[in-house]
Amino acid sequence: MTEPAPSKKRIAVIPGDGIGKEVIPQAVNVIQATGATVELTEFDWGADRYLRDRTTVPADGFAMLGRDFDAILVGAFGDPRVPTNIHAKQILLGMRFQMDLYANVRPVRLLDAALCPLKGIEPKDIDFVVIRENTEGVYTDAGGVFKQGTPDEIATQEDINTRKGVERIIRYAFEYCERHKKLDGSPRKQVLMCDKSNAMTHAGGLWQRVFKEVSREYPQIMAQHMYVDALCMQMVRDPRQFDVIVTNNMFGDIITDLAAGLQGGLGMAASGNIHPGKTSMFEPVHGSAPPIAGKNVANPVGAILTAAMMLGHLGMTREAEKIEAAVLEAVRQKKATQDIGGSLGTREAGEWVANFVGRE
């Protein structure tokens, strides 16, 4: 009897600008080396395209991605030739907002003790995930400037927090905690909500009330709270205490860079922009890094781990685990770029991982 053909997952690939154009081809090679049943389609959205024909997102672009693809793999956007950064805003923020990718999920794992700037920390000590609200907060661009350029100038930046938005991200964090295990196979047990409700009482009050309510539905999960300033200090003093952290858009943005520092820098960090049941987008945490672009020095690990996260999200757990194991080996053996102690270029580091994945 023949097995039914596995359905091919359709993945849109948008390398974008700068080092995105260097690291994403490596991530794609690694995906292909797993033998995953995927169909990859590349799009040229980014600064080059914008400078050529002024297109940021082609008409119907987001609808097309949602309709024709199961996931999107993105590199980075930002190019000194486009000082307004308009293409980056329209593509990246457009995707997050218009496709309603409300959960920004950033796993924080230490692959090698040598990569952590903290003393006495082992890889098993850093294995947590930050779940950042991705569609609200202070990043909605609500507000304005009044009497600009005068001594009486006033600038306001509104912090938007809807009941719906807060509830769905907190619920996502509990669901994530329930469904995901730690790297060592043990279950995740704790969701910690991070805010600044002592100073930002209105928005913080809503987060507090909703967190209490939703946590009652998950009595088996420990619900904890920390103010964001205390959390920053604790993350540096003792990162072992964290498991799943849920927070708003701005605090999430900040604490995930701190967390990336604990795992060896921006070149190591992966992320997903997720709306359960809809086409979701996966991108390395780093930006386009113009100073190092085009030099074959960018670390491809963040992009490769992002590809693994995407395959895991699409149900290809075996392929995702293969990639993670290969990356772990590359980091341990220093078959890697200079920022993490190796001596390979972007291409060579990517090829090493792809060869390791494809060995069997």
Residue with smaller CB distance to ligand ATP, 19 or 210: 19
Of the candidate residues 267, 272, 342, 350, the single one contacting ligand ATP (CB under 6 A) = 267
Catalytic positions, please? 139, 196, 229, 253, 257
Amino acid letter, residue 321 = E
Residue with smaller CB distance to ligand ATP, 197 or 337: 337
Q: Which two tokens stand for residue 234?
A: 């604790």
CB of 345 to ligand ATP, least distance (A): 11
CA distance 197 to 48: 43
Question: CA nearest 141: which of 159, 129, 167, 153?
Answer: 159
Of the candidate residues 14, 47, 266, 305, the single one contacting ligand ATP (CB under 6 A) = 266
Amino acid letter, residue 136 = E
Question: CA nearest 126: which of 110, 111, 105?
Answer: 110
Asked if 23 contacts 266 with a C-beta cutoff of 8 angstroms, the reply is: no
Residue with smaller CB distance to ligand ATP, 74 or 245: 74
Q: Is 339 in the site for ligand ATP (CB under 6 A)?
A: yes
CB of 317 to ligand ATP, least distance (A): 26
CB of 116 to ligand ATP, least distance (A): 17
CA distance 75 to 265: 17
Asked if 115 contacts 340 with a C-beta cutoff of 8 angstroms, the reply is: yes
Give residues 68-87 in contact with ligand ATP (rule: CB under 6 A).
78
Query: What ranges make up the beta strands (E) of 23-172?
Result: 38-42, 71-76, 103-109, 127-133, 143-146, 154-157
Find how far residue 174's CA is from the centre of its chain: 18
Q: Is 331 in the site for ligand ATP (CB under 6 A)?
A: no
Task: Give the residue nearest to ligand ATP (CB).
Answer: 287
CB of 19 to ligand ATP, least distance (A): 6
Q: Mask: binding to ligand ATP, 282-321, rule CB under 6 A, as x and -?
A: ----xxxx-xx-----xx--x-------------------
Output the DSSP codes for 27-46: HHHHHHHHT--EEEEE--TT
Asked if 8 contacts 37 with a C-beta cutoff of 8 angstroms, the reply is: yes
Of the candidate residues 12, 13, 14, 19, the single one contacting ligand ATP (CB under 6 A) = 19
Q: Is 95 in the site for ligand ATP (CB under 6 A)?
A: no
Residue ranges in contact with ligand ATP by CB under 6 A: 19, 78, 266-267, 286-289, 291-292, 298-299, 302, 339
